[in-house]
A and B are shown apart, each in its own frame.
Chain A
């Protein structure tokens, strides 16, 4: 098994896929966190609310919920590009059983996803730090513990997205289809489904959609954190609508715990990866 993992690392590292997909993550997280932190500390907001707002935490949630797509694409391409380049033939000829190859790929995919998540968190911190130090006034940045918590949840969300991408890619076995479906689903289908469900009796269901659940991992931490920072002692009387409006933008849903979202989303990842393992055993390699 270690040999297979080494083989997968050797397949991945000389190619530019892993760093090409990582490349956009760093500036994206940096800029969103920077701008997000700075906006809470502009004079106008300080005049209106009487204090600087830790919007950087919310911005971090937003940044993470977008940057996870890159890990998902990486996961999807780990398997499908072997079919694309037809190297899957040799891969399956040199390893028995096929599921061992899948496991090795999963390990490498997980490790790279952690790197993606950490890059997202580190550049987010950096952005928050820059936004916090360069602006005028004091406060409104949030504590280090809060940033660590959000960054950590971001790593978890990134890893789970990589797994979802991996399982989905291995299932559909087609690079183009896997990439298109993942992007469309994450940024369109899931959002539209939430909108459609919103007014109906099934609105509770939207928290369980894959996209919403994944956004909830960070969003359900960041939004309550932000509100408790802003409201302080008045937190219990903050209307639910305030939560809901923030959740709508920054992810998560009112009253849903972050770990609940993580569990739901992990369920999707497990379902896809398990399905792929079963399917790949009997897949015909032409």
Chain B
């Protein structure tokens, strides 16, 4: 019988499709009361896992439990767990209301519930329109509305932000946090940690079907050492000074030094002792996205060509191109290596991690420390643009989030 815990439990889950292993040795628990991110690159087995939890796919071995029982044994599945798996699953000839009323009937809910969830996701005005003409963002909202019909204790979402506009993404984040804050369970998958960073409290990171990290986001962030970015009049003098103190220093392509092992104040003292003038000083906390890339690196063998073809436009300006060429090819872990050992959080890298080797060169993300590293409008909330280091950007983003959703109980997360 249901244990009423609202917990999702995945035990030694294993799934193969013929010779292809999609998921192996996966173990994790999703507890109620918080948003859990299920992260990993495309093809890492996220969707397969979610579909196994929901009883749509049969595990090769292992088991998944929802509210204490396998999905197939839930008496009122829609009232226990709601899921957004596929934003395309509507009959084009149905209106949004028609679509929802199919499932209110199937689950024995009052028909008014259809209009209630439409209002909840902001689709009231489109209730009478056929889903044929819905945009991707509207489909995502309707899929979410479908999942919410039974007011489930557990909500499972597979890449729910795909196709949503920035406003929709910000809304969704607030919604999920508020939903979890009522003591319910939310498991949301994404291939972008950045997209989830301000929404989730816990993360399960998978790569090649295996769990590589399972724990709180705070802990993960703590494994990343903070650095001080500094521009000085005489970097050479400063680095020789730093070498004596045991602090690590690295040149960035824009001429700044990234120093680990000291804080900003210590940095200023050191610079004074070295007799160099500080032109710019900035503290930088660990970049989760980079850590995420490292954890999930090397999934695809095609990644041993980390660079775009010459002549690809660089948003930083072509003058930096040669330097970037020097910096980018310093992968600490050669691509194509074995998957990192599962469980305990890996040791933080001593140096700032190399950019993702398989990042599409079209994205051409500038190195993380570049001050010019902004793409996308500020309102994007870091959802899709590369995440800037500048704190004022984040302030603006949080304001945006809160203005979009007053229920955002967690507010902006301290970084």
Contact = CB atoms under 8 A, between A and B. Distances in A.
A14 B101 CA distance: 11
Contacts of B71: 96
Contacts of B54: 93
Given A3-B108, A7-B105, A86-B86, A14 B94 contact: yes
A3 B106 contact: yes
Given A96-B74, A285-B56, A285-B57, A87 B106 contact: no
Interface in B49-89: 51, 54-58, 71-75, 77-78, 81, 83, 85-86, 88-89
Interface residues of A, number: 27
Interface string B84-127: 01101111111100100111011110000000000000000000
B106 A15 contact: no
Given A89-B86, A93-B54, A285-B56, A3 B98 contact: no
Nearest to B47: A286
Nearest to A100: B106
B77 A86 contact: no
Contacts of B101: 10
Contacts of A95: 77, 106-107
Nearest to A85: B91
A47 B75 CA distance: 72
Interface residues of B, number: 36
Given A282-B58, A284-B56, A284-B57, A94 B106 contact: yes
Given A94-B107, A96-B73, A89 B98 contact: no
B83 A93 contact: yes
Nearest to A281: B72
B266 to A, nearest CB: 55
Contact of B91 (A11, A93, A94, A284): A11
B239 interface: no
A92 B81 CA distance: 12
Nearest to B94: A14
A170 B251 CA distance: 64
Contacts of A88: 89
28 contacts: A7-B103, A7-B105, A7-B106, A10-B101, A10-B105, A11-B94, A11-B102, A15-B91, A15-B93, A81-B91, A85-B89, A85-B90, A86-B89, A87-B89, A89-B56, A89-B85, A90-B89, A93-B81, A94-B77, A94-B106, A95-B77, A96-B72, A96-B73, A97-B72, A282-B58, A284-B58, A285-B51, A286-B51
8 shortest interchain CB distances as A-B pairs: A7-B106, A7-B105, A285-B56, A86-B89, A6-B105, A94-B78, A15-B93, A3-B108
